[in-house]
Amino acid sequence: MNDNNVCCVNLKWYHFNQNNPGGSWDIDDKIDKNVFIQAHSHYEANGLAQDIGIYFDGVENGLDCRCCGNRWTHAYDEIDYLPLNGINVKIYPYGSIKN
């Protein structure tokens, strides 16, 4: 094995499920109600999420209302399966997010 192979092992999927504080959704060409990102770790997935416009700690930073809570939360655990398709879903295989 060489360094070129390292990127292909141990990839997992992480799910970012959008809350709708204030009753509004953030939906554009990059993000939707459900975003799935493939990465080596939840740390990497959370960083990639931020590259496409997902933000964390929205209440603390004054972006989201306190009554409804944060729009997005950090991913911690990988998911067991990836939905093949769906409404309001964006799927990012590893390497498809460029910063």
Q: Is 65 exposed, middle or buried (0-12, 13-18, 19+ CB in 10 A)?
A: middle
If binding is defined by CB under 5 A, does position 1 make contact with Zn ion? Answer: no
Which residue from 68, 74, 89, 94 is in contact with Zn ion, where contact means CB under 5 A? 68
Say whether 5 sits in a helix, a strand or coil. helix
If binding is defined by CB under 5 A, does position 24 make contact with Zn ion? Answer: no
Say whether 53 sits in a helix, a strand or coil. coil
Nearer CB in complex with Zn ion: 71/90: 71
- Report the amino acid identity of residue 75: A
Nearer CB in complex with Zn ion: 63/65: 65
Q: Which residues bind Zn ion (CB under 5 A)?
A: 65, 67-68
